[in-house]
Amino acid sequence: MHELSLAQGIRRILEDEAKSQGFEKVTAVWLDIGALSHADPEALEFCFAASMAGSLAEGAALHIARTPGRAWCWSCAKEVPLARRIDPCPDCGGHRLEVVGGDDMRVRELEVS
Ligand SMILES: [Zn+2]
């Protein structure tokens, strides 16, 4: 499952951060998930809990925020908001779009102790 590898990636990020910043426990994680990424927040929440078992973030709360998608429209020659990958440009209705943001996932903030 895609979300499982994402969750395991988050665990590695947390373990690296713990090493470099010297904390021992993560109690909450804030995640930004781009609207155009393929990650399903519900599935990710489930996989997160499973992946953190036995780690420094066992039982940590997960807060997921959806960040909006953005694309460059070659017809309008400007950046436009994009809710889904298959959507046309909201201004000209064209499909000459290149996704420039909101297609990734990142750890925005950690609560540690
Ligand atoms: Zn356009």
Domain hosting 48: range is 2-112
Token pair 């909201």 is at which residue? 90
Beta partners for residue 61, in sequence order: 28
Cβ-based neighbour number of residue 54 at 10 Å: 8
Tens of pLDDT, residue by residue over 54-103, are 999 999 999 999 999 999 999 999 999 999 999 999 999 999 999 999 99
Q: Three-class SS of residue 104?
A: coil
The answer to whether the annotation marks 2 as part of a ligand binding site is: yes
What is the reported pLDDT for 1? 58
pLDDT at 42 over 70: yes
Please count the structural domains in the chain: 1
The answer to whether the annotation marks 38 as part of a ligand binding site is: no
Tokens at 2, concatenated: 């895609």
Token pair 């000459």 is at which residue? 96
CATH number at residue 12: 3.30.2320.80
CA 110 to chain centre: 14
The answer to whether the annotation marks 73 as part of a ligand binding site is: yes
Cβ-based neighbour number of residue 106 at 10 Å: 12
Q: How far is the CA of 75 from the centre of ligand 1 (A)?
A: 5
% the chain with pLDDT above 70 = 99
Could you tell me if 110 and 28 are in contact, meaning their C-beta atoms sit under 8 angstroms apart?
A: yes
